[in-house]
Amino acid sequence: MAVPGAFVSSILLLLASAAVAEIQFSEIRSDDRPIIPLDDFGFTHRGWLELNVSGIALSKAGLELGNLGFFLCTRDSWLNVLKELEEEDITCALQSSHVKHVFTFEKLGQRTSFDVEFDQEDANQYTLIFANCLQQQLRVSMDVRSAMYNLDGKSGRRDYLSAGKTILPRVYYLFSLIYFVLAGLWVYVLYKKRLTVFKIHFFMLAVLIMKGLNLLCEAEDKSYIKRTGSAHGWDVLFYIFSFLKGITLFTLIVLIGTGWSFLKPYLQDKEKKVLMIVIPLQVVANIAQVVVDETGPYGQDWVTWKQVFLLVDVVCCCAVLFPIVWSIKNLREAARTDGKAAVNLMKLTLFRQYYIVVICYIYFTRVVVYALETITSYKYLWTSVVAAELATLAFYAFTGYKFRPEAHNPYFAIDDEEEEAAAEALKLEDEFEL
């Protein structure tokens, strides 16, 4: 038994917290990996696994095939299996009493395909794994179709979404509805305040609509998967709107950060450069996201693409902060020279707040949500989705409220006293750098 191989797979197994819940097709070709994890699923106590394997070809005949087969295993019991392997109580994961055998190849006989249905009554998150304990001598090829589902309590219908994700379609529908209502509200505000509307306000409307459509597609995607086990093309629409949403959102943050259209009508060269970095990176991030989602956590290049995605995402998040910092600097300079301290202090405060809110938003949706996803039980995986969506909603609401078109520009209604106080405050400001 090659322990290092098993060790690497087990790390992968622990890393992959996302439960992919679709009918999965895996092509295994001349593979001698000792452990091949295939799919994760959160079962209720009425869970089923349907496994159809065809085109089985082994590189050698006449071997003892009891050490070759599929089993289900929870994360905790996998740690026990590893311990047993290390202490040499067993030589193959299939021999452990902690795993649930689905099919071992000694039952295969002369056939090259088999179908099994496996009744899974212990509610938990399981991983479907193929073990090949003869890997030194044996390469395996086969096509695996695995479908895992729970039977619905009342109707008895199949539900292909993992136990913690089964309410996700409803969550996404609800949030998309909220965004469409917000978009309607925004149109109303734009109409009411049409004399003070800037171009950026129409851009904000586009961002809202993209977000709403993105969520609607995700809801459709998940609800099709829930009912039938596959997305029926909604995933393609979802990726398209994810992409548009990503680009428009990051562009909006950059544009607001630069003060484009409400502070100044043009972009400086360095600000354009930020956009030219962020937009192509968003393209890369979206490609990575598609690959990550479509291959599932046990795909061959999953880890690489996940890393590409994380890296690009971090770069984008950092890049969008620069224009805000530049604006804050410019405003501070301007306050010193043009004598309108109060006006500039207000703008400065606004940009400061925006800077902090952008950082909080990025931190929350990237770090806190990931942590939440890792520590919550498989039954409550939806909570991290709700947390991320609430944070995003709060961010959109803040941005819309703070940068809304205003009929009475407060910048002009300021008396001398306030002006002096602001000038004082600005002097103090200088002592604290950002």
Ligand X SMILES: *[C@@H]1O[C@H](CO)[C@@H](O)[C@H](O)[C@H]1NC(C)=O
In the bound state with ligand X, the residue whose beta carbon lies nearer, of 115 and 122, is: 115
CA angle centred on 18, ends 16 and 22, rounded to 5°: 115
> d(Cα 296, Cα 289) in Å, to the nearest integer?
11
In the bound state with ligand X, the residue whose beta carbon lies nearer, of 51 and 348, is: 51
Q: Which two tokens stand for residue 403?
A: 């940068």
Binding mask 94-133 for ligand X (x = CB under 6 A): ---------------------x-x----------------
Minimum CB separation from ligand X for residue 105, in Å? 17
Euclidean distance between the first and the last CA atom of the chain, given in angstroms as a whole number: 57
Q: Which of residues 14-53 bind ligand X (CB under 6 A)?
A: 50, 52
In the bound state with ligand X, the residue whose beta carbon lies nearer, of 143 and 293, is: 143
* Amino acid identity, position 243: F
> d(Cα 309, Cα 54) in Å, to the nearest integer?
34
The angle that helices 234-258 and 321-338 make with each other, rounded to 10 degrees, is 20
The alpha-helical segments, DSSP class H, found in 50-121 are 75-86
Residue count, binding to ligand X (CB under 6 A): 5
CA dihedral (392, 394, 397, 401) positive or negative: negative
User: Which is nearest to 379 in space by CA: 69, 207, 167?
Assistant: 167
Q: Helix or strand or coil: residue 108?
A: coil
Minimum CB separation from ligand X for residue 116, in Å? 6
Do β-strands 47-58 and 24-31 pair in parallel, antiparallel, or remain unpaired?
unpaired
Q: HSE (CB half, 13 Å, CA atoms) of 114?
A: 17
> d(Cα 150, Cα 158) in Å, to the nearest integer?
6
In the bound state with ligand X, the residue whose beta carbon lies nearer, of 114 and 322, is: 114
Burial class (CB in 10 A: 0-12, 13-18, 19+), 73: buried
Q: Which residue has the tokens 């001598």?
A: 137
In the bound state with ligand X, the residue whose beta carbon lies nearer, of 54 and 136, is: 54
Minimum CB separation from ligand X for residue 113, in Å? 9
In the bound state with ligand X, the residue whose beta carbon lies nearer, of 100 and 404, is: 100
Minimum CB separation from ligand X for residue 119, in Å? 12
In the bound state with ligand X, the residue whose beta carbon lies nearer, of 102 and 217, is: 102
Minimum CB separation from ligand X for residue 147, in Å? 8
In the bound state with ligand X, the residue whose beta carbon lies nearer, of 35 and 102, is: 102
Q: Which of residues 46-65 bind ligand X (CB under 6 A)?
A: 50, 52
Minimum CB separation from ligand X for residue 42, in Å? 21
Q: What are phi and psi of 87, to 5 degrees?
A: -80, 5
C-alpha dihedral, 190 to 192 to 198 to 202, nearest 10°: 10
Minimum CB separation from ligand X for residue 68, in Å? 20
Minimum CB separation from ligand X for residue 50, in Å? 5
Q: Helix or strand or coil: residue 29?
A: strand
Minimum CB separation from ligand X for residue 114, in Å? 9
> d(Cα 126, Cα 105) in Å, to the nearest integer?
21
Q: Which of residues 140-159 bind ligand X (CB under 6 A)?
A: 145
In the bound state with ligand X, the residue whose beta carbon lies nearer, of 7 and 48, is: 48
Binding mask 250-289 for ligand X (x = CB under 6 A): ----------------------------------------
In the bound state with ligand X, the residue whose beta carbon lies nearer, of 50 and 294, is: 50
Verify binding: residue 293, ligand X, rule CB under 6 A.
no
Closest residue (Cβ) to ligand X? 115
> d(Cα 368, Cα 373) in Å, to the nearest integer?
9
> d(Cα 85, Cα 91) in Å, to the nearest integer?
6
User: Which is nearest to 310 in space by CA: 280, 289, 279?
Assistant: 289
> d(Cα 26, Cα 187) in Å, to the nearest integer?
47
Minimum CB separation from ligand X for residue 77, in Å? 25
In the bound state with ligand X, the residue whose beta carbon lies nearer, of 118 and 309, is: 118
Minimum CB separation from ligand X for residue 145, in Å? 6
What does the binding site for ligand X look like in residue numbers (CB under 6 A)?
Answer: 50, 52, 115, 117, 145
